Structure 1
């Protein structure tokens, strides 16, 4: 199930407390690898490292990198202080975290005494690349409002892998991060989506929350076999806690796969069959023909009868991204190549701002 090889660290491309990008020599080949220092400790040039090479060998989306399992020249790594909630449980790589909910946590009573989200806007996406355009469009109008990002365990588990999060934090556009389930490395660790939403409101004091998985997504070409299906139960959780649930629809006119053309079958399945509550679905398309196509999909599947579909008239996504010097890419496509995809996330921001 895991392909493993020994490599020698040849070069350290970049280095921080959270992630190290390396070049490693495996036999006579030089290949890229990722190390998480908080798990393995830092590495040095010429260190011998044990690598998980599975993704590269399968040519997956994360297949450009191997991942360091252990530094064979330094097997010691410092455990985080406090906490007893394990993530990646019962695997050789289980990590100890200090969860907000723990009885020893200074936030424990706030979690226990929670009553309601009080209509707090919670935007739920399906792909990590939706995060940047949403934040750019929201923060351009409300620089001083707080945004909390909840990263689920639907894709990458270590938040350190996200360059988007690092850039947004460096630019002071993202105020706080929460990792849930088996995802780890956020400013706050939570056990599940419910306590994460409570943390966003009661601990962080967020004005808006964005929820989606980290980099990567699992799909199978089947109706229910994709990790983005989590959007449904997350939207239901928001409604259960009395928040304002806003779904980012996955829309693209650049994807060559029929099932993802226009309104993706992922969004149709979630909105038609998975989510159990009425939610807000902003549609941010200005091109008349493309808009008509998506409207026909919405009507065909009765999505307008199940949910509050809202059409956004004015869009400035490209200008919002440029204002903060942000670049976006999803499935290898830039804004210019797949603008409706990125505008869909900004549409949720415009809905909140106009409300």
Structure 2
């Protein structure tokens, strides 16, 4: 059972066409809440809201806010036109989108007649925070390269929750977004990763594609029980469609958990047991001791079947500072966990070499 409470809108902190960040009064305490306009309509100061308070009561990180279930002062709304594909299917919040694949779509025949990705470089990450350094390195080197971001449904479902995406689009560092599965709100909606990759190539005309889940990730401390495991079958999908599959490894020497030291056990599991294709794995580490640690992990875990490319130089910090991008992952900044962010930008640097 979810936890639900009634709250009154105290103030609106931020709003655009898609999302409202608000302060609500619950039991005489002012707390943070998020309202998705496509699901529940606009709210105003003084409105009485029914809120899902589960995440706050569980003390979650990314999901640590209340979410509006209904505006009790404005309960009814009308259906918007276009589209027949449902997301959040068979839940009280199921919503209709106009998917690019639909027969009524002007893109239907283009998608249906697709042949190959023609070696289009597709980088696949496991955490949403990998997106920013990846994009920054490419756009700093060549602003003309068109980048498409595909957001999976492995974590947050509404793309409008992502402040990273909002910032990158405002700075024109991402050219288009695609949301797949039950995630929603992208410039293009697609049913799955295969059609999303086709849209990226044939409709967006992307030079580079980045794929990852939205904010948040599920982990259980078990070998296979984490939502980032999707990286494996997404990489296989890229290869199946004729793309160049690039796996962004999760690397850290700042994480206190031993299973995430060096190459994370998540990445090792994916490269060893999940992905069936041979893929490219850029390793952007220049420190000799840390590099040796990574070499030993690759050998010990017998994942040499993939093509590991060790990058000779790094411009991550330079590119982030150039675009004034402040990034964090698991609460850590670049200075606190540089190898994590360098892993993402290393994939971008590798792709740049191939695009020259």
Quickly name the TM-score band, shorter chain normalised. Answer: over 0.9
What are the within-5 Å matches in structure 2 for residues 234-273 of structure 1?
234-273=234-273
Q: Aligned equivalents of 1:181 and 1:38: distance in 2? A: 17
1:58 deviation in Å?
0.7
Q: Aligned equivalents of 2:198 and 2:64: distance in 1? A: 36
Does residue 335 of the first structure (1) align with residue 338 of the second (2)? no
1:273 deviation in Å?
0.5
User: Could you tell me which residue of structure 2 aligns to residue 352 of structure 1?
Assistant: 351
Native 8 Å contact 2:272 2:302 kept in 1: yes
Counterpart secondary structure, 1:204: coil
1:80 deviation in Å?
3.4
1:65-115 per-residue CA deviation (whole Å, 9 max, x = no partner) reads 100011110113343320010000000011110000000000000010000
Does residue 42 of the first structure (1) align with residue 79 of the second (2)? no
Q: Aligned equivalents of 1:15 and 1:198: distance in 2? A: 32
- Classify 1:63/1:187 alpha carbon distance in 2 versus 1 (closer, same or farther; 3 Å): closer
1:63 deviation in Å?
4.2
Q: Aligned equivalents of 2:288 and 2:62: distance in 1? A: 36
1:227 deviation in Å?
0.1
What are the within-5 Å matches in structure 2 for residues 1-355 of structure 1?
1-304=1-304, 306-355=305-354
The number of residue pairs the alignment matches comes to: 354
In structure 2, stretches of 5+ residues that fail to align are: none
1:18-49 per-residue CA deviation (whole Å, 9 max, x = no partner) reads 11001001111111000011211110001001
Q: Aligned equivalents of 2:134 and 2:79: distance in 1? A: 35
Deviates more, 1:290-299 or 1:334-343: 290-299
Counterpart secondary structure, 2:111: helix
Counterpart secondary structure, 1:310: strand
1:302 deviation in Å?
1.6
Counterpart secondary structure, 2:203: helix
Native 8 Å contact 1:57 1:63 kept in 2: no
Counterpart secondary structure, 1:14: strand
Deviates more, 1:137-146 or 1:179-188: 137-146
Counterpart secondary structure, 1:303: coil
Counterpart secondary structure, 1:38: helix
Q: Aligned equivalents of 1:307 and 1:345: distance in 2? A: 17
Q: Aligned equivalents of 2:320 and 2:100: distance in 1? A: 33
Native 8 Å contact 1:56 1:62 kept in 2: no
In structure 1, stretches of 5+ residues that fail to align are: none
- Classify 1:9/1:341 alpha carbon distance in 2 versus 1 (closer, same or farther; 3 Å): same
Q: Aligned equivalents of 1:79 and 1:214: distance in 2? A: 26
Counterpart secondary structure, 2:336: coil
Counterpart secondary structure, 1:2: coil
1:2 deviation in Å?
1.2
Q: TM-score, normalised by structure 2?
A: 0.98
Native 8 Å contact 1:38 1:78 kept in 2: no
Q: Aligned equivalents of 1:183 and 1:19: distance in 2? A: 15
Q: Aligned equivalents of 2:140 and 2:77: distance in 1? A: 41
Native 8 Å contact 2:63 2:216 kept in 1: no
CA RMSD, 1 decimal: 0.8
